[in-house]
């Protein structure tokens, strides 16, 4: 089996930039286009991508050593993101408990107390331990862990190359 070619610094920065943007874009499509309400962990898992997008653009623009330092930072940020994804996926599979304060997204914003009480009857908080969707047996949190780990690998290898 042939190894995948590892891009140089600029290529790695573009891979991370595109990968992070597409991942966040996909999450937003699930949320706003398909109506999936993200839980607290889902929203937290997006933060490393939000940080990596401008950092990857910066790494693309910076010369040599500075770009390597930024790519190293991206690798650490995305490793943290992969860890969040593993924690979330493990909670979904029941390997360990999820956070006790996990609820999700924003619900209705009623104008008066009566409307608020009616909304409470139909509003169901999103549970971090229940996978909303799976593809190939892997939940969105699991896919997030895999994507974040891959992006961390790309950034890390490029950061270590001279």
DSSP reduced 3-state for 128: coil
With beta carbons less than 8 A apart as the criterion, state whether 49 and 82 touch.
Answer: no
Tens of pLDDT, residues 37-55: 888 888 899 999 999 999 9
CA distance linking residue 126 with residue 28, whole number of Å: 16
Tens of pLDDT, residues 92-123: 888 888 777 775 444 445 566 666 666 655 55
CA distance linking residue 80 with residue 63, whole number of Å: 26
Q: What is the DSSP string of 35-104?
A: -PPPBHHHHHHHHHHHHHHHHHHHHHHS-HHHHHHHHHHHHHHHHHHHHHHHHHHHHHHTSS---TT--B
pLDDT, residue 105, reads 45
């Amino acid at each position: 089996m042939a190894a995948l070619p590892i891009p140089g610094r600029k290529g790695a920065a573009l891979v991370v930039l595109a990968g992070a943007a597409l991942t966040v874009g996909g999450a937003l499509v699930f949320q706003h286009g398909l109506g999936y309400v993200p839980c607290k962990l889902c929203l937290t898992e997006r933060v490393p991508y939000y940080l990596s997008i401008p950092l990857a653009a910066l790494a693309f623009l910076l010369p040599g050593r500075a770009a390597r330092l930024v790519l190293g930072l991206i690798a650490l940020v995305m490793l943290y993101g992969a860890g969040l994804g593993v924690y979330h996926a493990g909670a979904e599979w029941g390997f360990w408990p999820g956070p006790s304060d996990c609820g999700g997204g924003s619900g209705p914003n009623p104008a008066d107390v009566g409307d608020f009480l009616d909304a409470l009857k139909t509003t169901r908080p999103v549970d971090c331990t229940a996978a909303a969707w799976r593809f190939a047996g892997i939940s969105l949190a699991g896919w997030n862990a895999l994507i974040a780990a891959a992006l961390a690998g790309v950034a890390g290898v490029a950061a270590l190359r001279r």
